[in-house]
Amino acid sequence: QQQVKQSPQSLIVQKGGISIINCAYENTAFDYFPWYQQFPGKGPALLIAIRPDVSEKKEGRFTISFNKSAKQFSLHIMDSQPGDSATYFCAASGSNYQLIWGAGTKLIIKP
């Protein structure tokens, strides 16, 4: 019940295209859902986060869509650029402040 399942494991998108990464959770007590971006040799960097009282949040080219009834959330990267090539992680936490992470998606943007 503590798992966060992330898909796909890897993704190749053409420059200018839309990258979509999906996550699903089971624990209905989770109430905070961040997305992190990690480059090789670096720590994860917070991209965008959402709470379950909203269905969508947009920051620049990054959008989180949240479906509470389906217990799913997704990251959309619009106009994907080669600099977006990185590993993306979804995560979730509840009242105990522990972040539970997905397994990651390696995104490659082809020029």
Partner 1 sequence: DAGVTQSPTHLIKTRGQQVTLRCSPKSGHDTVSWYQQALGQGPQFIFQYYEEEERQRGNFPDRFSGHQFPNYSSELNVNALLLGDSALYLCASSLRQGRNQPQHFGDGTRLSIL
103 part of the interface to partner 1, by CB under 8 A? yes
Angle at CA of residue 108, ends 104 and 109, nearest 5°: 135
Span from 54-62, 69-77, 78-86, 99-107 in contact with partner 1 (CB under 8 A): 99-107
DSSP 27-48: -TT--BEEEEEE-TTS--EEEE
- Measured from the Cβ of residue 70, the count of other Cβ atoms closer than 10 Å reads 8
Among 42, 69, 70, 83, binds partner 1 (CB under 8 A): 42
Q: How many CA atoms lie less than 13 Å away from 33 in the CB half-sphere? A: 35
Does residue number 108 form part of the binding site for partner 1 (CB under 8 A)?
Answer: no
Task: Say whether residue 10 binds partner 1 (CB under 8 A).
Answer: no
Closer CB to partner 1, 17 or 27, in the complex: 27
Please give the residue ranges that form the binding site for partner 1 (CB under 8 A).
6, 31-32, 34, 36, 41-46, 49, 51, 89, 91, 93, 95-104
